[in-house]
Amino acid sequence: MFPNITVKEGAIFIADAHDCAERSFFYAFLEQLNNNPPPQLFLMGDMVDLLVGDVAYGIEKYKNYITLIDEIAKKTELFYLEGNHDFNLASLFKYARVFSIEHQPLHINLPDGTKALVSHGDKYADGLHRFFTYLIRNHTILSILNFLDKYSYGFISKAIEESQKRKNLCRKIENFQAVIEAKITKYPLESITWVIEGHYHQNCQFETHGINYFNFSSFACNQSYFSVQSSSKTQFAQMQVRGCNG
């Protein structure tokens, strides 16, 4: 059963921050939000480069993020949608509501009365990707990897981090609309007006199959987030972070 959440005006959505040692924009923005919390905060996955609830390396490296996110969650409703770089997180947070890939997409009710599905974006892929997704979230496999990682002084985790550094997070995907059109019918679309995802970092919006599809930009690329604004019609207004690039 999918959760059903009513979104408040002024709610903030952030996708794909991919924070790491070289990029700490997201942590600085979290500090701002902790001082001035929004009505709701949706973290849409891949907020850091590598955080797995069963692997000690990332938990230790990002413990200040975990603490700060939970501190914000004491002050506002905070929804954390796991991505493909941050998962098995429920045990790390006391106050943030964490949604695994199995519990995505979230059904959300927007201020204008329309309904949307929101997810990180990696759920409805091909069979091989779905198998890999299951495999890397398996607690037994992760326990073995964690053992090997600890006794190799983080070799596995560091190798994954290095591979991430070589990725172009801001590249445009050719024929992106066709990619989405091929998978969007896998969503439970009845009575749905919007499908909202991160994951692809494309910062684009279009209509397909009678649905408004919106792919958020990556916070890592332009330090932007989206604020829910509503008059007669809900909008996801793109906002630019100021004062956290230093």
- Judging by DSSP bridges, how do beta strands 194-197 and 40-43 pair with one another? unpaired
CATH number at residue 216: 3.60.21.10
Tell whether the model's pLDDT for residue 11 goes beyond 90.
Answer: yes
Q: Is residue 245 part of a domain?
A: no
- A 10 A CB-CB count for 84 gives 19
Does residue 246 form part of some domain? no
Q: State the DSSP code for 83.
A: -
* Residue 46 covered by a domain: yes
pLDDT at residue 126 tops 80: no
For 165-210, the pLDDT digits (tens) are: 888 889 999 999 999 999 999 999 999 999 999 999 999 999 999 9
Question: Residue 134 belongs to what domain range?
Answer: 4-240
What pTM did the predictor assign? 0.92
76 pLDDT tier (thresholds 50, 70, 90): very high
